[in-house]
Structure 1
Amino acid sequence: MFKLWSSSPSASIRQFSSTVAKFATPTKDAAPKWTPNSIRTGLIARKRGMTSMYDDNGVRLPVTVLQLENCQVTANVKTVRPDQTEYHAVQVAAADRPLKTTTAQMRGHFKKAGVSPKRIVKEFPVTPDAHVPIGTTLSAIHFVPGQYVDVVAKSIGKGFQGGMKRWNFKGLRASHGVSVSHRSIGSTGGHQDPGRIWPGKKMAGRMGGETTTAQNLRVVRIDTSLGLIFVKGCVPGVDDAHVLVRDAKKRLQSLAKANQAKGLYEKVLPKGVTDLPFPAGTSELAETLPTIIEAPSDRVTSPFTPRE
């Protein structure tokens, strides 16, 4: 299931499964168990940079390191829309800040929640069964190694760029027939009909600096002592920027519902994942598990094994 860094891997795997099951099993005083119809809250992390690691097959993987900074729940939101449907969300705050640099309004908000002042506050839509008690400290164990996540951040600003860099236009001919116009975008509109340029035409302009989502990134390792989440691939934003990490909408939430409806229960969660901490992975849960948990390789066979 999972590769755990400890003296007895099999014992740690059993410990992880039983502990998650205990925290996730619905009882009279416990939260309900995760289902494909459940939407959990996300986390606020800080992008620390990229590095590389090797899986159990010896394959080198590019990974991005995300670090949690005292990520805590500050509010549970429930709003009734005009059509009488309900909107549920969990408000999360992270990165402690000095009290003197916090506005009076936010001081009162954090004091009511019983947490220290934070630098960033975000809201994650959830299902009604996924509310988290106010003041709960969230841990990296919230995301199980082997599952997929989406990372939302502000992309790096590139300034004013031409059509080739901004939209991947191939430009004009680089040899005969073109004079000093090799990177031109070409014609942009008709002369008489329509006699103008349609709105939304891909042209030169500001590039980057927009909210971007990197979808379906695999969690390959977590470190609960340092609050680190290692995801395979790159994420938007500059180093040390805050990013939002949540369960993958397409590859986890939507796919889980589809497989559940088809009766493919073994495919509800990704390979190697048996359950998700619900409603959230807390610091109390992290204390009962190994510090470092690593996902097994997603390859069926080793790339160094000759094909038959």
Structure 2
Amino acid sequence: MQKCIVGKKIGMTQLFDEKGKIIPVTVVEAGPCVVVQKKTVENDGYESLQVGFGEVSDKHVNKPQKGHFAKADVACKRHLKEFRLDDCSALSVGDIIKADTFAPGDKVDVVGTSKGKGYAGTIKRFGNHSLKDTHGSGPVHRHAGSNGACSDPSRVMKGKGLPGHMGVETVTIQNLDVVKVDAENNLIALRGAIPGPKGGIVYLTDSVKA
């Protein structure tokens, strides 16, 4: 069965392997998560698990959500995420998913929301070149320049890189190594960086390309 878990990004640090080589890692507080709903082919046309993560008071949950959690006989959760898996037979509603569902050496894909950069120009947003900073090229040396042809097709083509809101996008990082798992403290150390700020919610699944 495919493995999945919801976690919170704690931050980055470094570990050492047997040869003393430094491994940069991102620490994720993974779980404990609870299975809130299980969808089946017979009822829904596909198989998936809805997983809840993070404690929340009943007063911060609306009435339909309270009924949803009460039907599953689980405590209210702050975050819900549906994982569409090939086989969900190993888990049932109410089962707990902990960090030790993954083991060191596993390959995982991590999905998160990237940091917000605000309103950014084309140089920062798309890597456009700027004009030279000398000999009077300002005040337009960081402008986007020409947007399109003058006569044909006489419009700006779709997909043109223009200034705008940068960041706060769903980003997937594939094939990250699980370096260490601390089941007692619900922590997973992943090699390298993952998207999002500290405290951001991330989703870990088995790598699709491993």
Would the TM-score normalized by the shorter structure come out above 0.5? yes
Match of 1:90 among 41, 49, 65: 49
Partner of 2:17: 55
Counterpart AA for 1:50: M
Give me the CA root mean square deviation.
Answer: 1.9
Greater share of helix: 1
| Alignment partners' CA distance in 1, 2:66 and 2:3 | 23
CA contact (8 A) 2:7 2:30 kept: yes
Quote how far apart the aligned CAs of 1:162 are: 0.5
Match of 2:176 among 192, 208, 217: 217
Give secondary structure in 1 for the equivalent of 2:179. Answer: strand
| Alignment partners' CA distance in 2, 1:201 and 1:131 | 47
Quote how far apart the aligned CAs of 1:86 are: 3.8
Quote how far apart the aligned CAs of 1:180 are: 2.7
CA contact (8 A) 2:100 2:183 kept: yes
Residue 154 (structure 1) aligned with residue 116 (structure 2): no
Counterpart AA for 1:203: L
Give secondary structure in 2 for the equivalent of 1:87. Answer: coil
| Alignment partners' CA distance in 2, 1:175 and 1:224 | 57
- TM-score relative to the length of structure 1: 0.64
Give secondary structure in 2 for the equivalent of 1:197. Answer: coil
CA contact (8 A) 2:16 2:23 kept: yes
Partner of 1:174: 133
Partner of 2:63: 104
Give matches, 1:1-16, under 5 Å.
none
Partner of 1:189: 148
| Alignment partners' CA distance in 1, 2:97 and 2:16 | 27
Unaligned ranges ≥5, structure 2:
none
Partner of 1:132: 91
Counterpart AA for 2:53: A
CA contact (8 A) 2:7 2:202 kept: yes
| Alignment partners' CA distance in 2, 1:41 and 1:73 | 13
Counterpart AA for 2:149: G
Greater share of strand: 2
| Alignment partners' CA distance in 1, 2:177 and 2:155 | 46
> In structure 2, do the counterparts of structure 1 residues 191 and 68 end up closer, same or farther at CA, with 3 Å as the change threshold?
same
Partner of 1:202: 161
Percent of pairs with identical residues: 36
Quote how far apart the aligned CAs of 1:99 are: 1.5
> In structure 2, do the counterparts of structure 1 residues 69 and 143 end up closer, same or farther at CA, with 3 Å as the change threshold?
closer
